[in-house]
Amino acid sequence: MAGGSSIDVLGQFELHPVIGGLGQALRLSQSPIYMAVAVCLVLAFLYYGMKPKAVVPGRFQAAAEICYEFVRNLAVDTIGPEGVAFFPFIFALFFFILAGNYLGLLPFSFTFTSHIAVTFALAMMVFLVAIIVSLKVQGLKFFAHFMPAGAPVALAPLLVPIEILSFLSRPVSLSIRLFANMVAGHVMFDIFASFVIMLAGLGFVGDVLAVGPLVINVALMGLELLVGVLQAYVFAILTCIYLREAVAH
Amino acid sequence: MRLSVTSFRRVVLAGASCAPLLLAAAPEAHAAGMPQLDFNNPLVTGQVVWGGVVFLFFYLALRGWALPKVDAVLQNRSERIAGDLDQARAAKAEADKAVLELRETKKAAAAEAQAHLDAVLEHERASAAAKLAEITERLDDEIARAEAGVVAERERALQSLRPIAVDVAESLVERLIGARADRAVVEAAVARATAQAAH
């Protein structure tokens, strides 16, 4: 990370093929491996959490149930009664992103949500699902949304392109929000950690001064734990809002 | 050293904050050195395909297996709670009914006992009255009989008094006039006198 006199903050985002040539041929990097780990962790959490099937839940089961009910309420409260159908999708999105964000906070690990390709693919998936649901539920009336109700017809040439642009910018803002948050957080980690190492090379005074960036990194870890869950929540609730628009008659 | 750090930070922060621009201009981004924007790297685009597979698996596993399991437990709990509440409500209703029944029974028993008591009292009163009437009748009888006896005794006493009265009157007349009066006349006079006295 700290390479002598300069700091390589972007090296942590590099992808490396796993299992050598086969990984290269299959385009398999550590990123999908971490995705698989994240998915397995969430599924294992639900499996072992719900294993007792107790009427009066223990801590682990209560945690699994809270996760379930949190996302379910999020989906149903935002989308409405139709939200039940989208609940597994919202749950998958929320916990895929949350587990990805949190896995990335472990030392020496990799954050797949810090890759724009991943976040943009997720955002495009949400965007396409919303469009498909819109067309299915509202039919051609879906296109009427691009003309705000009650606006003067004369303004249509101005309003319709703006509305279309704002609609099309959704996947972009959705993906970049998550990507930029993750990248910024991990770059900050790397910078302050590098400060610690570089200051430590200056002898006793440096050792004392190195406490500063170390403390900052501890605080940053707290911030990143918050950002990790917040970004997953934002992604999930924006998806819910788009889907509410899609199912609204 | 310090300088190179700050310049790096500036580059990185600029890169992160200008991500949309960098995305729109991928070749320049490649020059800036963000591995995420190196779309010529097959591993970067490979993430999308692999991520799609992993996410699809995740979604299907959640929808088909994990979430229904949680749902079943929650459903079971709410049903159980509702069932227990219903049971408790039913038990309460039953208890209320039992209490009401008890109260009714108690009331009925009290009424019955009162009626019974009234009947017994009535019966006792009637029998006492009957006995009293019988006793009164018997006493009246006895009194009547005694009175009749008294009258008869007096009659008999009066009857036995008459010869004495006749004898006394005869001897009085003899003493007064010095001669014996006719017994029949004396007897008639006495009878007349006693009849007058009786009246």
High-pLDDT (> 90) share of chain B, %? 54
The pLDDT confidence band at residue B32, using thresholds 50, 70 and 90, is low
Q: Verify whether the Cβ–Cβ distance B23 to A116 is below 8 Å.
A: yes
* Chain A nearest-CA residue for B68: A88
**Rounded to whole angstroms, how far apart are CA atoms A122 and A93?**
8
* Chain B nearest-CA residue for A87: B63
Helix runs in chain A, H state only: 20-25, 30-50, 59-79, 83-103, 116-138, 156-200, 204-209, 211-247
pLDDT tens figures, A71-105: 999 999 999 999 999 999 999 999 999 999 999 99
* Chain B nearest-CA residue for A11: B35
**What pLDDT score was predicted for residue A44?**
96
Contact with chain B for residue A96, Cβ under 8 A: yes
**What pLDDT score was predicted for residue A3?**
42
Q: Range with the lowest mean pLDDT among A35-44, A155-164, B56-65? A: A155-164
**Rounded to whole angstroms, how far apart are CA atoms A200 and A195?**
8
Of B35, B50, B58, the CB nearest to A28: B50
Residue with tokens 């918050």: A226
Higher pLDDT, A5 or A221: A221
| C-beta of residue A121 within 8 angstroms of C-beta of residue B51 | yes
Helix runs in chain B, H state only: 2-17, 19-24, 26-32, 42-61, 67-177, 183-198
Q: How far is CA A90 from CA A85, A114, A169, B44, in A?
A: 10, 20, 21, 25
Contact with chain B for residue A14, Cβ under 8 A: yes
Higher pLDDT, B197 or B95: B95
Estimate to the nearest angstrom the gap between the alpha carbon of B102 and the chain centroid. 5
Global pTM value: 0.72
pLDDT tens figures, B102-131: 999 999 999 999 999 999 999 999 999 999
High-pLDDT (> 70) share of chain B, %? 83
**What pLDDT score was predicted for residue B120?**
95
pLDDT tens figures, A127-165: 999 999 999 998 888 888 888 888 888 888 899 999 999
Q: Which residues contact A36 (CB under 8 A, 6 or more apart)?
A: B54
Asked whether residue B163 carries a pLDDT value surpassing 90, the answer given is no
- Residues of B in Cβ contact (< 8 Å) with A184: 13, 16
**What pLDDT score was predicted for residue B77?**
92
Q: Which residues contact A55 (CB under 8 A, 6 or more apart)?
A: B76, B77, B80
**What pLDDT score was predicted for residue A143?**
87
Task: Give φ, ψ of A149 to 5 degrees.
Answer: -65, 135
Q: Verify whether the Cβ–Cβ distance A187 to B45 is below 8 Å.
A: no
CB contacts < 8 A (A, B): 162
**What pLDDT score was predicted for residue B15?**
42
Q: Verify whether the Cβ–Cβ distance B54 to A184 is below 8 Å.
A: no
The pLDDT confidence band at residue A191, using thresholds 50, 70 and 90, is very high
Contact with chain B for residue A136, Cβ under 8 A: no
The pLDDT confidence band at residue B168, using thresholds 50, 70 and 90, is confident
Asked whether residue A54 carries a pLDDT value surpassing 50, the answer given is yes
**Rounded to whole angstroms, how far apart are CA atoms B169 and A74?**
147
Q: Verify whether the Cβ–Cβ distance B48 to A121 is below 8 Å.
A: yes
| C-beta of residue B37 within 8 angstroms of C-beta of residue B27 | no
Bridge partners (DSSP) of residue A7 are A2
High-pLDDT (> 70) share of chain A, %? 97
**What pLDDT score was predicted for residue B7?**
52
**Rounded to whole angstroms, how far apart are CA atoms A55 and A75?**
25
Average pLDDT of the residues in A172-181: 96
